[in-house]
Amino acid sequence: MKVAIAGYGAEGQSSYRYFCDKGDDVTIVTNRLSPAYPLPEGAQSIVADDAFDRLGDFDLIVRTPPMRPDSIVTEGKVWSQANEFFANCPAPIIGVTGTKGKGTTCSLIASILREAGQKVHLVGNIGVPALDVLTQIKPSDVVVFELSSFQLWDLEKSPQVAVVLMIEPDHLDVHRTFDEYVDAKANIVRWQTPNDVTLFHPTNHYSAKIAQQSGGASSRYAIKDDGEVYIDTNTFFVHDTPICSIDSLQIPGAHNSENACAAISASLRVLEDISFVEGGLRNFSGLPHRLKFIRHVNEVAYYDDSIATTPGSAIAALKAFGEGSVIILGGSDKGADYSGIVDECRRTNAQVIAIGQTGEKIQQLCEERGVFVQRETGGMKEVVKTAYGLAKPGGQVILSPASASFDQYKSYSDRGDQFIAAVGEL
């Protein structure tokens, strides 16, 4: 079979290896190469500005996640790594999507199940290409798959357990409309059978809208009446049975307590013994760049939340603390509305450092709403120095940009790493 790997990054590299190992005739097709992902020695390739216009003669086109399926012109089948994995995975899959909290929720599920001795494969948008581990998976294992809208866009099979977290506008630089974004995410439940289950956000309209499309059972997590895990008197409960104190959770913020309810609820679809939950929560101290404490400097706490590429994520970060925050906002533009995060800054009396491409827009909104703002156009060292000058003892400095990173940085992790390094030099 003639296979085109359309786009060549981490997932494309993984797909190339997988289909070569299957014995297919594989060609890498891309309009640009990254130094981080050089062509394999001896690989067939088409590297040209019009490369994606040359996909007509392939039997199978395995698209890179951000490539629109409807942009590919071919007589062959348009496919994805996620589709290949779902079609061939022998183990049950717990799939997690949402605009924010996916990685944390997936990691909590994996930690709880591993505490119980379960073999777990944590894959997908969290950074491990699913096809890299497909041949290692046994029917007795469990897969936890973090699914972005790009991976769900043309998915033809849904996970047995689907978790739908908070949905808000995102990736509108690729999706034509917010409705299209929500519709893509709905594939996480659209192909479920009556034996499958969906757990959805307790208050988010769009999560509920997605859950309604499931062919299986659906219920809200963090809601007692729906029979899932909920919080009462500082304790996680299920069916009126206490599980453990929420102090077992090692990551701050009400949003993370809510994510934990989702994670425990999903885990209990696999586990029957709730005694493993507390250890699983305690074993997870947070993912890099997700509201991660760095250090104290002059009685000011510094937190790296570079993963926060949407306004809702930054709002959640501010809500995790009281007043007295300095928040660093701005980056490359994904078409988001920043009025909500600026209003939250006003409510919590936060001071804003506006950076990057969206910084000008954020600065204007702050000035219109009476929020203290300082524009900083320099690099991360200058940004951190500005924050150091503004912060007061007992407060916190939070890098939670509400924007993507690609205007000034290679990735959100590069942005976070530079922030950590700059804080380390204070």
Q: CATH number of the domain at 360, please.
A: 3.90.190.20
> How far apart, in whole angstroms, are the C-alpha atoms of residue 336 and residue 99?
12
Helix and strand element counts for the chain (H, E) = 14, 20
Residues 75 and 88 in one domain: no
Indicate whether 165 and 199 sit together in one domain.
yes
Residue 36 confidence (pLDDT) above 90: no
Binned at pLDDT 50, 70 and 90, residue 81 comes out as: very high
Going through 69-174 in order, the beta strands assigned E by DSSP cover 77-79, 93-97, 120-124, 142-146, 161-164
Domain boundary at 79, 98, 115, which? 79
Closest CA to 325 of 371, 367, 368, 287: 371
Contact between 419 and 405 under an 8 Å Cβ cutoff? The reply is no
pLDDT for 225: 94
In a domain, 359, yes or no: yes
* Domain residue limits at 336: 292-424
Are residue 176 and residue 318 in the same domain, yes or no?
A: no
Same domain, 102 and 215: yes
The answer to whether residue 200 is domain-embedded is: yes
Paired tokens of 31: 């309009």
In the structure, what pLDDT confidence band is assigned to residue 66 with cuts at 50, 70 and 90? very high
pLDDT at 268 exceeding the cut of 90: yes
Do 118 and 248 lie in one domain? The reply is: yes
What CATH number is attached to the domain comprising 228? 3.40.1190.10
Same domain, 315 and 175: no
User: By the 8 A CB rule, do 82 and 155 touch?
Assistant: yes
Instruction: Band the pLDDT of 410: cuts 50, 70, 90.
Output: confident
Residues making up the chain, counted from first to last: 426
Number of domains in the chain: 3
Query: Which pLDDT belongs to residue 100?
Result: 87
Whether residue 263 is found in the same domain as residue 296 = no
Question: Where does a domain end: 51, 79, 107?
Answer: 79
Q: Are residues 228 and 111 in the same domain?
A: yes
Q: What is the mean pLDDT of residues 269-279?
A: 95
Single out the residue in 282, 302, 319 at which a domain terminates.
Answer: 282
Read off the pLDDT of each residue in 110-130 and give the average, rounded to a whole number.
Answer: 95
Shared-domain flag, residues 158 and 17:
no
Q: What is the pLDDT of residue 68?
A: 95
Q: How far apart are CA 308 and CA 33, in angstroms?
A: 27
Query: 316 and 201, same structural domain?
Result: no
Residue 287 belongs to some domain of the structure: no
pLDDT at 332: 94
CATH number at residue 36: 3.40.50.720
Q: Summarize the confidence of residues 210-219 as an average pLDDT.
A: 98
* pLDDT at residue number 358: 96
What pTM was computed for the model?
Answer: 0.84
> Does 127 score more than 80 pLDDT?
no
Average pLDDT of the chain, as a whole number:
96
pLDDT in tens, 366-396: 999 999 999 999 999 999 999 999 999 999 9
Q: So what's the pLDDT on residue 31?
A: 94
| pLDDT-based confidence at residue 287 (cuts at 50, 70, 90) | confident
Residues 121 and 50 occupy one common structural domain: no
pLDDT in tens, 388-408: 999 999 999 999 999 999 999
Amino acid making up residue 111:
S
Query: Cα(326)–Cα(372) distance, rounded to whole angstroms?
Result: 10
135 within some domain: yes
Q: Which residues pair with 242 in a beta bridge?
A: 237
Cα separation of the two ends of the chain: 57
Percent of the chain with pLDDT over 90: 89
Task: Clarify whether residues 273 and 300 are in a common domain.
Answer: no
pLDDT of 206 strictly over 80: yes
The answer on pLDDT for 61 being more than 90 is yes
Give mean pLDDT, residues 214-234. Answer: 97
Look at residue 322 in the predicted model and tell me its pLDDT: 82
Long-range Cβ contacts of 209-216 (<8 Å, 24+ apart): 209/182, 210/164, 210/167, 210/182, 210/185, 210/186, 211/164, 213/186, 213/189, 214/158, 214/162, 214/189, 214/190, 215/189, 215/190, 215/191, 216/189, 216/192
